Amino acid sequence: MIARRGTLIVVSAPSGAGKTTLCREVRLCLPDLAYSVSYTTRPPRPGEVDGRDFHFVTQPAFEALRTAGALAEWAQVHGNLYGTHAGTLERALAEGRDILLDIDTQGARQLRARYPTAVLVFIIAPSMAELEQRLRERRSDPEREIRRRLDRAREEVPLWREYDYLIVNRDVKEATEHLAAVIQAERCRTNRLSLAMPDLEVRS
């Protein structure tokens, strides 16, 4: 009765704000949500699976995708290249499936230009002190890297106004509920729907 095209749900956040966890949790709440697996030249971290977490590719392979026009957006982040495959997005949208993207602010900007109806969500930690504490608790990064991520976060937080929604991640459960609520609300927006009732003359 109700038909709709899929929606791009773009999530960005400074490193350490909890974006990866929130994206994983919201996919558990909304199992029909597709996920865009990015291409990257970054080597896999322990536990990461090729094709599930990322498509891990060499720099020449990445360049080949880029020059072939296969990427809907791409960016260099923390010294590595990352990109989103355009075909994956187009397929999900055409099938009426919403698709979640975990990408940086440069990529979000490019997608906004290419897909004006994309929904952009920005996640932040409650304070810079809290963000620093979370980065230190990971215990995986050297001090220099933590400083670099904090400097980048200071540049990224002011970009929140370019986004449609802002979620403060004080608590994973609460922030996941907010992200799921945003997606559910967008699914009900009238300008994304076409309605056909079999027992009503008017169709739109």
Least Å distance, CB 184 to ligand 5GP, is 23
Segment contacting ligand 5GP by CB under 6 A, of 71-79, 128-136, 166-174, 175-183: 71-79
Which single residue is written with the structure tokens 């620093």?
Answer: 132
> What is the radius of gyration, based on Cα positions, of the chain?
18
As given in the structure block, the two tokens for residue 44 are: 């896999």
Q: Which position among 6, 73, 98, 153 is part of the footprint of ligand 5GP (CB under 6 A)? A: 73
Give Cβ neighbours of residue 126 (< 8 Å, ≥ 6 apart): 168, 169, 170
14-43 mask for ligand 5GP (x: CB under 6 A)? ------------------------x---x-
Distance of CA 148 to the CA centre of its chain: 22
75 binds ligand 5GP (CB under 6 A): yes
Segment contacting ligand 5GP by CB under 6 A, of 78-86, 118-126, 147-155, 178-186: 78-86
Which single residue is written with the structure tokens 């919201």?
Answer: 26
Q: Which residue is nearest to ligand 5GP (CB)?
A: 107
Least Å distance, CB 150 to ligand 5GP, is 14
Instruction: For ligand 5GP, give the closer residue by CB, 42 or 187.
Output: 42
The H or E element that residue 84 is part of is strand 80-85
Least Å distance, CB 202 to ligand 5GP, is 42
Q: Which position among 7, 84, 88, 176 is part of the footprint of ligand 5GP (CB under 6 A)? A: 84
Binders of ligand 5GP among residues 96 to 125 (CB under 6 A) are 102-104, 106-107
**In whole angstroms, what is the distance from residue 153 CA to residue 163 CA?**
16
**In whole angstroms, what is the distance from residue 164 CA to residue 73 CA?**
19
Which single residue is written with the structure tokens 């260099």?
Answer: 76
Strands 80-85 and 71-77: antiparallel
Plot region of 18 (φ>0 → left; ψ -120 to 50 → alpha; else → beta): left
Instruction: For ligand 5GP, give the closer residue by CB, 18 or 83.
Output: 83
Interface ranges with ligand 5GP (CB under 6 A):
38, 42, 73, 75, 77-78, 82-84, 102-104, 106-107
